[in-house]
Chain A
């Protein structure tokens, strides 16, 4: 019923209801996105970063939309008028800003806002980006209202990263408002920024004091924001719903009370997909959208025996990836043998070019000097396994299947894995493996928590497979896994380590943190980087080259990326598994036009900033009667 009121004065037919997967927000009154604790409290993606704030550039993780002033759909000059421009030695970055953009209180956005943001943050050591700006920015000048020049303290070809959003970046503060509310820059840490001032197409209309929903209303002057490059956002209202248990999401969407589900379990999607009015990224199997993030098995490279490449390879070859795929995503996976998510434009830049290398790649298993571990039949195998359930939705054509499920992965070869372990000095007694020192080889696997069923299932399956192989593995979903992971007190962690820009092949976004600069010995608390404690001179070398290459030189970026991928494929510091497939679901009753595999103009996940573009592409189905 489009005339039903969602909240007083807001009709259902004018509102798109969207899930924010963050979980209940514990500090619902705070819209201060710049403090550290905001990160843990999650008060970001309830519309604030999608609809309310803006920064210089956005990268779309998918193919993006055509828009004014750019030929690359994935790159959006948002507040900036052009791409970042560096001087020769990358010590100065100059940014031209767009004209005619206004805050929601009708104050114009200018270079002063950007300068103020950087300066304020630099004075707060516990602010996000604060320490970066303090160390990296020597000074700033604003030659005119629409230009800002960053003088950097050291050569840095990727400084613009701080203002480039794929998932998150430094958002710009409204100087006039902050100056009024903050007595000193350090007040920022307890400032609530409530109600938030918007630089995006929507303003906050109302929100739940318990942090369960946020209602945004389209600005009358939405054209004075950067969204104008794409067109008018269609829904008058956007409502974000938080903290819904999986089963409830399905019920709510079935009742047409929730238009966009960020994700549910594969089973949830399968039951939702039975409805005519429902769409997914893939219409039918494999449903989900592959995130530009990579799920991987993360062994502790600083702890024996995981410091041994052969052991890491053995762990990979003892996994029957088809079972992992089935247990987690019911087969709806996009596998990756590379240290890169198999999503966005990566097929073009990396996965196709790497096939030859992978097919030729050989390792020494001790008994076989040139063992070829790559297996291109995996997609077909998974296809055969799931076809009985999903029928024609699972294509028979090998290339199409590979595009869906991934071009290949490592062989399931317990024999080769055993050889590798023997090569590493281990022995098998009975059906259990024993380390060189005679101890039984046991692994405690830090698994995902209950909050993410699909991935928890994945970790459990990995543990089961290793146990079956003779390495007793306990999957542990303990609360302090993270802390122990941070301390280096772990065997193997399941998690994300690598995320890409999605639309852009540059690897600096994630790979930087694997630089040995950030290496911390076991027992010492890490500082948020290089948690797998990997150290490689070759890798450092590649990363140093990235740092002095032009970001806009995509060819160069991709070449360096390929070097990185070859190195990590051989050395296997982590065991990449697959992209994080987000089982999102959309209800077409009130709105249609959501992105999908055939129209991949945006990532359909609801919590990313780029999801703002979706609203410009929707079509209203049931407008309320006036």
Chain B
């Protein structure tokens, strides 16, 4: 594990960038717990100050320090994205792997359900659900909803992987070893599905946070709870983009781009690392 880390660190620029971004994100999240201000407290600092040594990211027109606000925003957005990604992953893995492995009517039924979710127009449904839940709406419910809407396509991807794995001889060997289905799926097939899983997780994370931003920009999330989307929302409500407070928009955008590009590069480098072929080559086999 440590070897792998140092190996990756030494050889992969992507990995280094990614780690730096992740460390940055973690530091921000941790700092949020030590923030001197409440996340949305107005007029805690001088308003409309550009970035300076005192206010690293500048301040908003409402007298909030953007740096500290971003620590909360990043925390909330990441929590939201990660919960969404994890939940939808769980559904996707179970549906994809079992459906692919079991086949037959089990597969047919699950895939019909899956397809019904695939074709759902996500944004309209999210909007509707949002209206439905209104004041009960919080980021946790929202991540639940997003998870429900975000697993189907990935389940299909996983399923197609499993379908081809099922055809490989070692799967049959596993059957004749007397292994139960669960074991074949999770012990034998999982390592191959891992890269797909990993990259779809990152995509899902990006997608869910993007959705959250979209909903926030439309003012449909809880606007009293800072997320990346909510920060941008309030910047828009103050026309920050054209009124000269560029930093108000720049802070969330740069932080987002930095963290997510980092995540992405990290996922690319790790993905190459956990790719079965790479792993084989590392163990000394010809892949």
Closest to B234 in A: A457
Report yes or no: B223 in contact with A323, Cβ–Cβ below 8 A. Answer: no
Determine if B69 is an interface residue (Cβ-Cβ < 8 Å): no
Report yes or no: B238 in contact with A476, Cβ–Cβ below 8 A. Answer: no
Report yes or no: B224 in contact with A271, Cβ–Cβ below 8 A. Answer: no
List chain B residues, Cβ under 8 A from A323: 42-43
Report yes or no: A461 in contact with B42, Cβ–Cβ below 8 A. Answer: yes
Identify the stretch in B3-11, B94-102, B241-249, B252-260 within 8 Å (CB) of chain A at 4 or more residues. Answer: B241-249
B residues 151-189 touching A (CB-CB < 8 Å): none
Determine if B142 is an interface residue (Cβ-Cβ < 8 Å): no
Identify the stretch in A188-196, A477-485, A510-518, A540-548 within 8 Å (CB) of chain B at 4 or more residues. Answer: A477-485
Partner of B43, one of A267, A326, A330, A444: A326
Task: Name B residues whose Cβ lies closer than 8 Å to a Cβ of A.
Answer: 40-43, 47-48, 61-62, 131, 134-135, 218-219, 223-224, 233, 236-245
Would you mind naming 19 contact pairs between A and B with Cβ atoms under 8 Å apart? A246-B239, A247-B241, A250-B239, A265-B238, A265-B243, A267-B61, A267-B238, A267-B242, A268-B239, A323-B42, A326-B47, A450-B218, A453-B238, A453-B239, A457-B237, A461-B42, A475-B223, A478-B135, A479-B131
Closest to B47 in A: A326
Report yes or no: B219 in contact with A456, Cβ–Cβ below 8 A. Answer: yes
Report yes or no: A464 in contact with B42, Cβ–Cβ below 8 A. Answer: yes
Closest to A264 in B: B239
Determine if A474 is an interface residue (Cβ-Cβ < 8 Å): yes
List chain B residues, Cβ under 8 A from A330: 61
Give 9 nearest A-B pairs by CB, closest first: A450-B219, A267-B243, A453-B237, A478-B134, A267-B239, A271-B243, A268-B239, A265-B239, A479-B131
Task: Name A residues whose Cβ lies closer than 8 Å to a Cβ of B.
Answer: 246-247, 250-251, 264-265, 267-268, 270-271, 323, 326-327, 330, 389, 444, 449-450, 453, 456-457, 460-461, 463-464, 474-480
Q: Is the interface of B mostly helix, strand, loop or mixed?
A: loop
The smallest beta-carbon distance between B246 and chain A, in angstroms, is 12
Closest to B137 in A: A478
Cα–Cα, bound, A478→B219 (Å): 9
Partner of A268, one of B62, B134, B135, B243: B243
List chain A residues, Cβ under 8 A from B223: 460, 475, 477
Q: A453-B237, A456-B237, A457-B237 are contacts. A464–B41 as well, Cβ < 8 Å? A: yes
Cα–Cα, bound, A463→B40 (Å): 11
Cα–Cα, bound, A250→B243 (Å): 9
Partner of B237, one of A251, A265, A326, A474: A265
The smallest beta-carbon distance between A520 and chain B, in angstroms, is 23
Cα–Cα, bound, A199→B56 (Å): 60
List chain A residues, Cβ under 8 A from B241: 247
Report yes or no: B40 in contact with A464, Cβ–Cβ below 8 A. Answer: yes
Give the residue among B43, B61, B243, B244 with the most A Cβ atoms within 10 A.
B243
Contacts A250-B239, A479-B134 known; 17 new A-B pairs at CB < 8 A: A246-B236, A247-B241, A265-B237, A265-B238, A265-B243, A267-B240, A267-B242, A268-B243, A271-B239, A327-B43, A389-B48, A453-B236, A456-B219, A457-B62, A464-B42, A477-B223, A478-B131
Report yes or no: A271 in contact with B244, Cβ–Cβ below 8 A. Answer: yes
Q: A449-B219, A475-B223, A477-B223 are contacts. A444–B237 as well, Cβ < 8 Å? A: no
Cα–Cα, bound, A326→B224 (Å): 18
List chain A residues, Cβ under 8 A from B134: 476, 478-480
Cα–Cα, bound, A250→B238 (Å): 13
Report yes or no: B131 in contact with A476, Cβ–Cβ below 8 A. Answer: no
Report yes or no: A270 in contact with B42, Cβ–Cβ below 8 A. Answer: no
List chain A residues, Cβ under 8 A from B239: 246-247, 250, 264-265, 267-268, 271, 453
Closest to A456 in B: B237
List chain B residues, Cβ under 8 A from A389: 48
List chain A residues, Cβ under 8 A from B237: 265, 450, 453, 456-457
Cα–Cα, bound, A250→B242 (Å): 8
Cα–Cα, bound, A330→B245 (Å): 14
Q: A449-B219, A463-B224, A480-B134 are contacts. A327–B42 as well, Cβ < 8 Å? A: yes
The smallest beta-carbon distance between B239 and chain A, in angstroms, is 4
List chain A residues, Cβ under 8 A from B236: 246-247, 453
Report yes or no: A270 in contact with B243, Cβ–Cβ below 8 A. Answer: yes
List chain A residues, Cβ under 8 A from B233: 450
Cα–Cα, bound, A444→B239 (Å): 27
Closest to B43 in A: A323
Closest to B222 in A: A474
Closest to B127 in A: A479
Cα–Cα, bound, A475→B233 (Å): 15
Cα–Cα, bound, A241→B42 (Å): 35
List chain B residues, Cβ under 8 A from A477: 219, 223
Cα–Cα, bound, A333→B243 (Å): 19
The smallest beta-carbon distance between B57 and chain A, in angstroms, is 18
Give the residue among A267, A453, A457, A477 with the most B Cβ atoms within 10 A.
A267
Closest to B224 in A: A475
Closest to B133 in A: A478
Report yes or no: A267 in contact with B42, Cβ–Cβ below 8 A. Answer: no
The smallest beta-carbon distance between B115 and chain A, in angstroms, is 30
List chain A residues, Cβ under 8 A from B240: 267
Closest to B241 in A: A247
The smallest beta-carbon distance between B141 and chain A, in angstroms, is 14
